[in-house]
C-alpha cells in the first residue's frame, strides 16, 4: 500500500512550505517516525517525519521550491511497488482557484494584480513580499523552474539604485526573513487585538543566587549541564502557576480555557529573530530535566532543526533578557496565551531592610496580561506568590 508524503501544515494560516532538504534519497528504506525531510515555514526550519514504513519513491518535491500545503511531494511504497501516477492538474487547480476567488475584489488595483499573477508564475511568498516592498510583479522575470518568480527575484528588484552623484545619499533595504516577517505580523496582531496591561515587581534574588550555586555543582556532576537562572525560574514559575489558573489560560471565542498543566515557553534568540521553545509539563519536571530540555531545544533552534513539538502548545512564556544587561522591560503576549513574564538582570542595589540601607541583588519581573482573562488583582496575587517562592526556592521546589 502506498502512503503519500505531503507538504504539511505545521502552523495556522500556513499556505506553503519551502523544501530545504531530503534526508533520504529515492529508493531508500525508511521507518515510520524517522526524519525524512526538512522544510521552512514562516516560523522556523523543521524536520518532517516519515508517515509509514517502506521505500521512498516518486519524489517530485524539488529542494528550494515553495510548495502548497497538502501537495504530494513523494510516496512511501512497499518493496517492488510503483508509486501512483501523479495528477498535477488535480493537485494544483483547487489551490489556484481558491486563491483567485479569495483575493478577488471589486477595485482596479486588485484586478490589475490578479491579471499580473495569471500572466506570470509566482510563489505565494514572493507575492506577499512584492506587495510589502511595492514591486510590480508584471515587470519581473522569474529565475525559478519554468520561469517562476521567487522571493529572491522580488528582493533583487527592490534593491535601491545608488546614484553616481557624490552629494546624494543612499539607503539600503533589507528584506525581513520569514521568521522576522512572522514576528512582525504576530506581534502587531497581538498588540492591536489583545488588551495588554503590565504589573512589575522588584524581587530580592539573594536566595535564588544561593540556591543556584548549591544545585549547580551537583547537577553538573550528575547531568553534565550548567543550570541557569532561567531554568530555576521555569521550575518555580510553573509550580506557582498551578495555583493561578487564569494566568495559565488561553483566550478563545468560546471562553477562557484553563489548563491543569504548564507547558512553559522559553524565548530563545536565533540569528534572525526569536522563537519560543516549549518545555512540556514543566510543573512536574526537576531543575535538571528542565535545564537539559532547554539546552537541547535551544541547540536545535539555533541550528534550524526545530521539530513541530518543540514550539507547540505553550500555556505561558518566560522571556529573560537579564544576560543582555537589561534592567527591566515589557514583553508582548503570544496569543492565545493569557500572559508572559519578562525577566530583567540581577543587579546590586541599595534597599532598605529593617530601616537600614543594605546592598542586595535585585531583579525586576514584569508580567504582561490579557485583561480579558485576568485582572490587576489576579496578576498582583500571582506576583506576590512568585516573589515568595523565589525568596524560598528550595521550599517551593521540594
Sequence-distant (≥ 6) Cβ neighbours of residue 54 within 8 angstroms: 3, 29, 30, 76, 77, 78, 79
* Residue 242 to residue 263: CA distance in whole angstroms: 11
- Cβ 380 vs Cβ 344: under 8 Å: no
Q: Is 265 helix (H, G, I), strand (E, B) or coil?
A: strand
H or E element, residue 20: strand 16-22
Residues shown for the chain: 398
Nearest CA to 10 out of 281, 269, 265, 306 is that of: 306
Query: CA-CA distances (angstroms) from residue 185 to 192, 201, 249, 398?
Result: 11, 30, 23, 41
Q: Is 371 a catalytic residue?
A: yes
Distance linking the first and last C-alpha atoms of the chain: 53
Q: Is 185 helix (H, G, I), strand (E, B) or coil?
A: helix
- Cβ 5 vs Cβ 73: under 8 Å: yes
Cβ-in-10-Å burial (0-12, 13-18, 19+) of 192 comes to exposed
Radius of gyration of the chain (CA): 25
Mutual angle of helices 206-223 and 287-302, in 10-degree steps: 80
Sequence-distant (≥ 6) Cβ neighbours of residue 278 within 8 angstroms: 263, 264, 265, 266, 297, 309, 310, 311, 312, 313, 314
* Residue 88 to residue 79: CA distance in whole angstroms: 25
Name the active-site residue from 296, 348, 375, 385: 375
Q: What angle do CA 245, 247, 251 make, to 5 degrees?
A: 95
Name the active-site residue from 313, 371, 385, 391: 371
- Would you put residue 273 in left (φ > 0), alpha (ψ -120 to 50) or beta? left
* Residue 329 to residue 333: CA distance in whole angstroms: 13
- Cis before residue 336, ω within 30 degrees of 0? yes
Residues annotated catalytic, as ranges: 371, 375
Amino acid at each position: 500500500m502506498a502512503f503519500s508524503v505531503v507538504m504539511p501544515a505545521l502552523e495556522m494560516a500556513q499556505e506553503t512550505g519551502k523544501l530545504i532538504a531530503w534526508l533520504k534519497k529515492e529508493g531508500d528504506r525508511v521507518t515510520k517516525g524517522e526524519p525524512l525531510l526538512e522544510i521552512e515555514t514562516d516560523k522556523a526550519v523543521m524536520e518532517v517525519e516519515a508517515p509509514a514504513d517502506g521505500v521512498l519513491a516518486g519524489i517530485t518535491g524539488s529542494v528550494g521550491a515553495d510548495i502548497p500545503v497538502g501537495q504530494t511531494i513523494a510516496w512511501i511504497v512497499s518493496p517492488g511497488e510503483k508509486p501512483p501516477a501523479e495528477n498535477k492538474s488535480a493537485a494544483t487547480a483547487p489551490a489556484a482557484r481558491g486563491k483567485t476567488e479569495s483575493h478577488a475584489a471589486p477595485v482596479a488595483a486588485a484586478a490589475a494584480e490578479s491579471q499580473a499573477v495569471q500572466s506570470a508564475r509566482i510563489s505565494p511568498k514572493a507575492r506577499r513580499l512584492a506587495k510589502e516592498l511595492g514591486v510590480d510583479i508584471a515587470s519581473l522575470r522569474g529565475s525559478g523552474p519554468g520561469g517562476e518568480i521567487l522571493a529572491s527575484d522580488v528582493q533583487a528588484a527592490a534593491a535601491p539604485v545608488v546614484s553616481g552623484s557624490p552629494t546624494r545619499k543612499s539607503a539600503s533595504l533589507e528584506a525581513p526573513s520569514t521568521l522576522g516577517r512572522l514576528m512582525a505580523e504576530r506581534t502587531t496582531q497581538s498588540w492591536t487585538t489583545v488588551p495588554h496591561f503590565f504589573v512589575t515587581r522588584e524581587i530580592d534574588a539573594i536566595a535564588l543566587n544561593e540556591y543556584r550555586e548549591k544545585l549547580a555543582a551537583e547537577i553538573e556532576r550528575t547531568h553534565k549541564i550548567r543550570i541557569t537562572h532561567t531554568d530555576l525560574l521555569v521550575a518555580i514559575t510553573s509550580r506557582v502557576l498551578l495555583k493561578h489558573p487564569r494566568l495559565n489560560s488561553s483566550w478563545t471565542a468560546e471562553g477562557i480555557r484553563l489548563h491543569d498543566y504548564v507547558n512553559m515557553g522559553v524565548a530563545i534568540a536565533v540569528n534572525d529573530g526569536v522563537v519560543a521553545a516549549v518545555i512540556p509539563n514543566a510543573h512536574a519536571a526537576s531543575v535538571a530535566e528542565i535545564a537539559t530540555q532547554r539546552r537541547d531545544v535551544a541547540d536545535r533552534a539555533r541550528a534550524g532543526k526545530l521539530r513541530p513539538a518543540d514550539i507547540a502548545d505553550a500555556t505561558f512564556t518566560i522571556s529573560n533578557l537579564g544576560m543582555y544587561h537589561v534592567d527591566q522591560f515589557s514583553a508582548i503576549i503570544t496569543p492565545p496565551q493569557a500572559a508572559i513574564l519578562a525577566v530583567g538582570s540581577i543587579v546590586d542595589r541599595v534597599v532598605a531592610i529593617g530601616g537600614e540601607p543594605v546592598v542586595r541583588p535585585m531583579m525586576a519581573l514584569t508580567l504582561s496580561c490579557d485583561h480579558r482573562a485576568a485582572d490587576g488583582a489576579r496578576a498582583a496575587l500571582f506576583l506576590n506568590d512568585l516573589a515568595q517562592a523565589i525568596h524560598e526556592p528550595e521550599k517551593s521546589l521540594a
